Amino acid sequence: MHENQVGYFCHYVPWELFEACGLRGTLVTPAPPFPREREAFFPVPFCPFSKLIAEEIHRAPFSLYVLGFACDASRRTKEILEYLHTKKNLPKTILSLPIPFLGSSWGIQRLAENLRQLSLQLALLAGIHPWEVETRLGEVILSSYEERKEISTLFFAGRLPTQALLTHKRGESLPSQEARPSVLLIGSHLFLSEVVQIAEECGLSVIEESPRGTGPWLILPEQDFVPSSDPFLDLARLYTLHKFPCPRVNQRRAQTIHKMVDHLSLTGVIFLYPQFCDAFLYQLGLLRRFLAVPLLPLAHDTEPNLAQWTTRIEAFREVVRCAPSSPMAPQKL
Amino acid sequence: MHRPPQWLLKSFSFLLNRKMPFRLLKAYTRWLEWRKPPTDLAQFSYQVTLRSIAKLYGREGKVVWASLFFPSEFIYAFRGLPFYPEIAAGLFAALGFAEIPLHRAEKAWFSQDLCSYHRLGLGASLWRFFPRPSFLLATTSICWGTVSFFQVLEEIFRVPCYILDVPEEYSSEAIRYLAAQLEDLAHTLKEKEGVTFQWEEVFHHAQKALSMVQEIESLRKRKDLLLLPPTKNLDYLPYYYQFMGDEVAVTFFEQLRAFLLSSTQTLPHRLLWLHLKPFYPSPLPSLLEEYGLGVVCEEFTSLFPHELNPLEPFLSLGEKIASLSFHFTHPKARTKRILQWFKEYQAEGAIQFNQWGCRQSQGMNALLRQSLRREGFPILFLDGDHLDRRHNTQEQWRTRLEAFAEILRG
Ligand code: SF4
Ligand code: SF4
């Protein structure tokens, strides 16, 4: 295995599991220039992120990938990749982690079971005993929880600098900032830095929640995590009940964002989303319902749209500046 | 289409939320039944539709909204009135009214890139055009969009929403997992909604309807019969889903069988129809006829073939959900089933009408095309949208169907 490295995607694939197996997990992150070699396998109205992930995995160096599938697009992407790899006989192993519906205790139990199954496969590949993985996992979860708590405390106080976590390595100390953010940027996996830069150039101070930045680290401050005797169930609980909800967990996420905007007295929200992602698209409709501050949606396909975004963010800055100091009434559906 | 003014739509919505007009409608349907007992399919369907509208909007019981793969037998078993918003969305489009709810949904920021079955359902719900639900039931299959759709409905109506988590595989563990969730759900509904479950009669009706459907399928496998105008069977979707477990489905399929036996029409080519079709009035059926492209089997009217056992209702329904989900969403299982239909129905090719916002099915197209090509079967993907005319590529249909017919002629 390539230096014990595992490429993974999405954020429901817990890096804690890799660590417990003695592996190093790297989130698959498409970076430009984007190739277009596998485009023919995807329909036009399809998640741009999935399309780019397929390209990235195809050209990336790791021999082992773990793909979580939590939506139709990621499931189909996994199937296409499996097909391509079998056909071309590529020396890559693709494991998958199905992410169930997480709104009920059934789904959480099933996620725990899926994690257990995945750990068996990983242990076999890494050449360690599954029992050892299970023992280590409990410790890794505890230290991960402490680290997440620290990050989240800074974040919910509005003191975590934007993009601080894009390059954050575990164990490194965290920078903090005094300036209060005014706008929340809800980001997609792609083009986050571009939008942060435009917003900052427009004089907006931004706090960011995105799948590549703070998103994977944040846990909700309300409830304490109490470990049980089953580390797989604990991991499933950590990722479902404690983690900042991802766009797929509709109402909880919208409520959480609403609370956060209130708590930090933010004046607006920029919503950067992949054009054909159902999870983000539903989230947009719900956020409009929940939020009492101006909301700016910015869509992207496989390329950024910098000129248009700049114009729209500039206009948004004026809206935010002119917005009444008391929050608007939430919009009714 | 010119959109009607707001006041008119609001008045319409107001009326739809009153019981009185539907009591009158009920009296009318009784009179109609007595005066004009249905003698053909069209009249029968018309009367069934009116009766259902009277029951649902007159709130003659608990109105329970369900997603397509949530079995209606479960709802009939506690005497609920099933309502399938995805099916109702198709009906709305067929009546030519799709634009009004679609526009309403977009105004509430539900993007044009979302599946129009769901978008239309949201718009109609925001307008309060659909009968108000007592609660919502859904499965995580056929697509994840369904889950989000039902969660937004929960938010709109502020009623409980129960979602069954469907595993990706079709195995005894998956069936048991679903059965346990169904049993748990039944307990919850008993406690919270005060309902009780009676399975025998409902399963009996479902079983009878199923054997009737199997007879119909055997008829459609005969080469000397074509039986139905191309894609017409998809207009009967409510009988395959919403009315399963109700006597209405049995009577309907009896009538359909009788009609088919009396039909002699055939077309030169026998095709499979994958996914659904544009439900708004369109020239597609006549174009298919013009090019001799007959449809002998539709993916969505192919039912779960197993017996439902009233002694093990949850296992039976769990198996139904698992089987349906697996055969529609797992590429290998879906392809295998399609290849089997090619043989059984002596079909020469397949057409899939793509749905713009459907990642679930479109994401499978490339692999499906490759698999069918390997076996020597041509497939045509027509692009468009089943409900939203704006995504439709009608100008291309003629050229593409003509080219496909040529391929079939060899
Ligand atoms: S961006 Fe959306 S559609 Fe794409 S993989 Fe993530 S959740 Fe799925
Ligand atoms: S058409 Fe596709 S996205 Fe729409 S409800 Fe059906 S499976 Fe889901």
Closest by Cα among B392, B149, B192 to B283:
B392
Place of tokens 């049993």: B183
CB-nearest partner of A98 from B151, B168, B366? B168
- The reply to whether A193 and A289 lie within a common domain is yes
Inter-chain CB proximity B363 and A77 less than 8 Å: yes
**pLDDT value at position A169?**
75
A312 shares a domain with A172? yes
Q: Note the pLDDT of residue A2.
A: 54
So what's the pLDDT on residue A168? 74
In A, minimum Cα distance to B178 occurs at A106
Q: Which residue, B105, B100, B108, B135, is CA-closest to B118? A: B105
- A107 closest CB neighbour out of B108, B165, B362: B165
Instruction: For residue B44, give every residue at least 6 positions away whose Cβ sits within 8 Å of its Cβ, in sequence order, or none.
Output: B38, B251, B252, B255
Please name the residues in contact with A223: beta carbons below 8 A apart, sequence gap of 6 or more: A241, A242
- Compute the distance from residue B141 Cα to the ligand 2 centre, in Å: 9
Q: Indicate whether residue B299 lines ligand 2 (CB < 6 A).
A: no
Q: First CA to last CA across chain B, in angstroms?
A: 41
Mean pLDDT within A225-232 = 94
| Domain identity same for A18 and A129 | yes
Please compute the mean of the pLDDT values over residues B306-334 and round it to a whole number: 96
Nearest to B152 by CA among B189, B119, B112: B119
In tens, the pLDDT along A151-174 reads: 999 999 988 888 777 777 777 788
Q: Once rounded to an integer, what is the mean pLDDT over residues A67-80?
A: 93
Contact between B163 and B138 (Cβ < 8 Å): yes
Tell me: do A166 and A129 sit in the same domain: no
The CATH number of the domain where B115 resides is what? Answer: 3.40.50.11890
Whether A101 sits inside 8 A of B147 (CB atoms) is yes
- pTM of structure: 0.95
**In the prediction, which pLDDT does A294 show?**
96
Model confidence band, residue A72 (pLDDT cutoffs 50, 70, 90): very high
Please answer yes or no on whether B363 and A46 come within 8 Å at the CB atom: yes
Given pLDDT bands bounded at 50, 70 and 90, which one contains residue A90? Answer: low
Interval A190-211 mean pLDDT: 91
- Give the range of the structural domain holding residue B30, as residue numbers without chain letter: 6-193
Does A90 share its domain with A45? yes
Q: Smallest CA–CA separation between B128 and chain A, in Å?
A: 12
- What is the token pair recorded at B243? 């009315």
Predicted confidence (pLDDT) at residue A266 exceeds the cutoff of 90: yes
Q: Which residues contact residue B131 at a Cβ distance below 8 angstroms, ignoring those fewer than 6 apart? A: B16, B56, B57, B59, B63, B83
A270, A239 contact by CB (below 8 A): no
Q: Note the pLDDT of residue B213.
A: 95
Q: Which helix (H) or strand (E) holds B285?
A: helix B284-290
Percent of chain B whose pLDDT exceeds 70: 99
pLDDT tens digits along B339-352? 999 999 999 999 99
Sign of CA dihedral A165, A166, A171, A172: negative
Clarify whether residues A306 and A166 are in a common domain: yes
Containing H/E element for A93? Answer: strand A93-98
ipTM of the shown complex: 0.94
What average pLDDT does range A234-251 have in this prediction?
A: 91
From chain A, the residues in CB contact with B359 under 8 A are 43, 45-47, 71-73, 76, 276, 278
B292 token code pair = 């001799």
- pLDDT tens, residue by residue, A113-152: 999 999 999 999 999 999 999 999 999 999 999 999 999 9
Kindly list the residues from chain B whose CB atom is less than 8 angstroms away from the CB atom of residue A250: 148, 151-152, 155
Query: Among the ranges A32-41, A286-295, B130-139, B299-308, which has the highest mean pLDDT value?
Result: B130-139
Residues A175 and A303 in one domain: yes
Residues A60, A166: one domain?
Answer: no
pLDDT for A4: 85
Structural domains counted in chain B: 1
Taking every pair of C-alpha atoms in chain B, what is the biggest distance, in angstroms? Answer: 63
- Chain B within 8 Å of A88 (Cβ-Cβ)? no
Apex CA A238: angle with CA A233 and CA A243, to 5°? 150
Q: Are B138 and B67 contacting, i.e. CB atoms less than 8 angstroms apart?
A: yes
Between A and B, how many residue pairs show a Cβ–Cβ distance under 8 A?
125
Residue A269 contacts by C-beta under 8 Å, 6 or more apart in sequence?
Answer: A183, A184, A185, A186, A257, A261, A287, A291, A293, A294, A295, A296
Q: How many CB atoms lie within 10 A of CB A43?
A: 20
Strands (E), B125-236: 135-139, 161-164
pLDDT at A178 over 50: yes
For chain A, say whether B353 makes contact (Cβ under 8 Å): no
- Residue B38 pLDDT > 80: yes
Say which of B113, B151, B367 has its CB closest to residue A275.
B113
Neighbours of A37 (CB within 10 A): 11
CA distance B349 to B403: 13
Let me know whether A35 and A90 are in one domain: yes
Can you give the pLDDT at residue A331? 43
The pLDDT of residue A326: 43
Q: Which residues of A touch B170 (CB under 8 A)?
A: none
Percent above pLDDT 90 for chain B: 87
B97 domain-assigned: yes
Residues A129, A176: one domain? no
**pLDDT exceeds 90 at position B75:** yes
Residue B402: both structure tokens together: 């003509």
- Dihedral Cα B400, B404, B405, B408, nearest 10 deg: 180
Q: Which helix (H) or strand (E) holds A118?
A: helix A105-126
Say which DSSP state A241 is in.
I
Who contacts A307 (Cβ-Cβ below 8 Å, separation ≥6)? Answer: none
Of A136, A152, A175, the domain-final residue: A136
Are A208 and A119 found together in one domain?
no
Closest CA to B237 of B72, B57, B62, B32: B72
Distance from CA of A168 to the nearest CA of B (A): 32
- Residue A230 belongs to some domain of the structure: no
DSSP β-bridge partners for residue A8: A27, A66
CA separation, residue B291 to residues B227, B402, B407 (Å): 17, 7, 12
CB contact under 8 A, B110 and A73: no
Mark which of A68, A102, A136 sits at the end of a domain.
A136
Distance from the alpha carbon of residue A209 to the mean position of ligand 1, in angstroms: 16
Render B24-54 in DSSP notation, one character per residue.
Answer: HHHHHHHHHHHHS---SHHHHHHHHHHHHHH
pLDDT category, B50, cuts 50, 70, 90? very high
Q: What is the CATH number of the domain that holds A290?
A: 3.40.50.11900
Look at A70 and B144 and tell me if their CB atoms are within 8 Å: yes
Decide if pLDDT at B294 tops 90: yes
Q: Is residue B30 part of a domain?
A: yes
Instruction: At A222, list the tokens.
Output: 């309300």
Average pLDDT, chain A: 89
Same domain, A198 and A262: yes
Q: What is the DSSP letter of B388?
A: -
- Total structural domains within chain A: 2
The alpha carbon of residue A213 and the mean position of all alpha carbons in its chain are separated, in whole angstroms, by 8
- Ligand (nearest to CA of A274): 1
Residue-wise DSSP of B81-143: EEE-HHHHHHHHHHTT-THHHHHHHHHTT--TTS-HHHHHHHHHHHTT-SPPPSEEEEES-S-
Cβ contact A80–B168 (<8 Å): no
Chain A residues in contact with B188 (beta carbon < 8 A): none
Assess if residue A15 is contained within a domain: yes
- B359–A46 CB contact, under 8 Å: yes
How far from A323 is each of A123, A263, B186, CA to CA, in Å? 55, 17, 49
Any ligand 1 atom below 6 A from CB of A274: yes
H or E element at residue A161: none
Mean pLDDT of A104-114: 95
Q: Which ligand approaches the C-alpha of residue A277 most closely? A: 1
Q: Assess contact for A109 and A233: CB atoms under 8 A.
A: yes
CA distance A41 to A198: 33
Q: How far apart are CA A57 and CA B396, in angstroms?
A: 36
Instruction: Indicate which CATH number applies to the domain containing A42.
Output: 3.40.50.11890
- Would you state the pLDDT for residue A3? 64
Minimum-distance ligand 1 atom for the alpha carbon of A71:
8
Using CB atoms, pick whichever of A72, A79, A286 lies closest to residue B143. A72
Q: Tell whether A153 is covered by a domain.
A: no
Does B372 reside within a domain?
A: no
B349-353 and A5-9: which strand pairing? unpaired
Option in B126, B152, B163 nearest A286 (CB): B152
* A197, part of any domain: yes
Distance, in angstroms, between B33 CA and closest chain A CA?
40
* Partner-chain contact A71 B362, CB within 8 Å: no
Domain containing residue A30 = 2-136
Give, as one character, the DSSP assignment of residue B349: E
Q: What is the rounded distance in angstroms from the CA atom of residue A266 to the CA atom of residue B185?
A: 41
Closest CA to A12 of A21, A25, A31: A25
pLDDT in tens, B101-112: 999 999 999 999
Report the distance separating Cα B209 and Cα A329, nearest Å: 52
